[in-house]
Structure 1
Amino acid sequence: MTAVKPALKIATFIMLIWGCLMGVTVLLADWSTAQEVRAMVLSALVCLAVAVACMLLSRGPSIRMKAKPMFLVTAVNWGLLCLTGALPLYLGWPELSFIDALFESVSGVTTTGSTILIGLDDGPRTLILWRSLMQWVGGIGIILMAVAVLPFLKVGGMRLFKTESSEWSNIQNTRVRTVATQIGVVYILLTALAVAVYWALGMTGFNALNHALTSLATGGYSTSDSSFGQFDSNALIWAGSSFMLLGGLPFLLYVQSLHDRAWHIARDAQVQLLFKLVAAAALAMTVHRLLTGSSESFFHALTHAVFNITSVVTTTGYATEDYTLWGSFSLMLFVFLMFSGACSGSTSGGTKLFRFQLLGLLLREHLFKSLHPSGHFQRTYNHRPVGEGVLVASLAYLFVMLVSLLLFSIALTLTGLDAVTAGSAALTALMNVGPGFGEVIGPAGNFSTLPDTAKVILCLAMLLGRLEYMALLILFTPAFWRW
Structure 2
Amino acid sequence: MIDLRPVAYVLGRILIVLALLMLAPAVLDWRAGDPNGFDIFRAALITFFTGMAVALATSNTGARSLDVRQAYLLTASIWIIAPLFAALPLMLGAPGLPLAYAWFEAVSGLTTTGATVIVGLDNLPAGMNLWRVMCNWLGGLGIAFIAMIFLPLMRIGGMQFFRTEAFDTLGKALPRAADIARQLLYIYVVLTFICIITFLIIGMPPFIAVSHGLSAVSTGGFSPYDSSFSGYRGAGEYFGALFMFLGSLPFVRYVQMVNGQPMQFWRDQQIRSYLIWLLTAVLMVTLWRVLDKGTSFEPTFREALFNMTSIMSSTGTFSGDFSGWGGFALVMALLIGIIGGCSGSTAAGLSVFRVQIAMAALRRQIGQIFHPSQVSPIRYQARPVDEDVIRAVTMYIATYILLLGLVSVTLTLIGLDLQSALFAAWTCLGNIGYGFGPMVARTGTFIDFPPAAIFVLSLTMIIGRLGILTMLILLLPVFWRR
Aligning the two structures, in what range does the TM-score lie when normalised by the shorter sequence?
over 0.9
Structure 1 residue 90, shift from structure 2 partner: 0.6
Matched-pair identity in %: 35
Separation of aligned partners in 1, 2:261 and 2:337 = 33
| Structure 1 residues 33-432: aligned runs within 5 Å | 33-60=33-60, 62-163=63-164, 175-231=176-232, 233-294=233-294, 296-432=295-431
Query: Match for residue 20 of structure 2?
Result: 20
Structure 1 residue 174, shift from structure 2 partner: 5.6
| Structure 1 residues 366 and 203: CA distance shift in structure 2, 3 A | same
Structure 1 residue 478, shift from structure 2 partner: 2.3
Separation of aligned partners in 2, 1:215 and 1:256 = 22
Q: Which amino acid aligns with 1:395?
A: T
Separation of aligned partners in 2, 1:465 and 1:425 = 12
| Structure 1 residues 292 and 253: CA distance shift in structure 2, 3 A | same
> Where does structure 2 lack aligned partners over 5 or more consecutive residues?
169-173
| Aligned residues of 1:340 and 1:353 also touching (Cα < 8 A) | yes
Q: Which amino acid aligns with 2:38?
A: R
Separation of aligned partners in 2, 1:65 and 1:98 = 32
Separation of aligned partners in 1, 2:440 and 2:347 = 20
| Structure 1 residues 408 and 72: CA distance shift in structure 2, 3 A | same
Query: Match for residue 480 of structure 1?
Result: 479
Deviates more, 1:142-151 or 1:24-33: 24-33
| Aligned residues of 1:151 and 1:166 also touching (Cα < 8 A) | no
Separation of aligned partners in 2, 1:293 and 1:32 = 46
Query: Match for residue 170 of structure 1?
Result: none
Deviates more, 1:21-30 or 1:132-141: 21-30
Separation of aligned partners in 1, 2:244 and 2:471 = 27
| Aligned residues of 1:436 and 1:443 also touching (Cα < 8 A) | no
Structure 1 residue 443, shift from structure 2 partner: 10
Structure 1 residue 20, shift from structure 2 partner: 1.7
Structure 1 residue 51, shift from structure 2 partner: 2.3
Separation of aligned partners in 2, 1:164 and 1:282 = 31
Q: TM-score, normalised by structure 1?
A: 0.94
Q: Which amino acid aligns with 2:160?
A: R
Q: TM-score, normalised by structure 2?
A: 0.94
What is the CA RMSD across the aligned residues, in angstroms?
1.9
Structure 1 residue 164, shift from structure 2 partner: 7.3
| Aligned residues of 2:219 and 2:248 also touching (Cα < 8 A) | yes
Deviates more, 1:441-450 or 1:301-310: 441-450
> Where does structure 1 lack aligned partners over 5 or more consecutive residues?
168-172
| Structure 1 residues 429-448: aligned runs within 5 Å | 429-441=428-440, 445-448=444-447
Structure 1 residue 102, shift from structure 2 partner: 1.2
| Aligned residues of 2:217 and 2:246 also touching (Cα < 8 A) | yes
| Structure 1 residues 442 and 337: CA distance shift in structure 2, 3 A | farther
Query: Match for residue 29 of structure 1?
Result: 29
Separation of aligned partners in 2, 1:400 and 1:303 = 35
Deviates more, 1:194-203 or 1:48-57: 48-57
| Structure 1 residues 177 and 443: CA distance shift in structure 2, 3 A | farther
Separation of aligned partners in 2, 1:442 and 1:158 = 37
Structure 1 residue 12, shift from structure 2 partner: 3.2
- Is 1:453–2:452 an aligned residue pair? yes
Question: What is the CA deviation profile of residues 206-234 of structure 1, one whole-angstrom value per residue up to 9, with x for unaligned ones?
Answer: 10000000001111111111111122x30
Separation of aligned partners in 2, 1:63 and 1:434 = 38
SS class of match (1:28): helix
Question: What is the CA deviation profile of residues 274-300 of structure 1, one whole-angstrom value per residue up to 9, with x for unaligned ones?
Answer: 110111111111111111023x32111
| Aligned residues of 2:13 and 2:52 also touching (Cα < 8 A) | no
| Aligned residues of 2:30 and 2:38 also touching (Cα < 8 A) | no
Deviates more, 1:265-274 or 1:317-326: 317-326
| Aligned residues of 2:91 and 2:97 also touching (Cα < 8 A) | yes
Structure 1 residue 239, shift from structure 2 partner: 0.6
| Structure 1 residues 464-479: aligned runs within 5 Å | 464-479=463-478
How many corresponding residue pairs?
476
Question: What is the CA deviation profile of residues 430-473 of structure 1, one whole-angstrom value per residue up to 9, with x for unaligned ones?
Answer: 01011222233259711011111111111111111011111111
Structure 1 residue 415, shift from structure 2 partner: 1.8
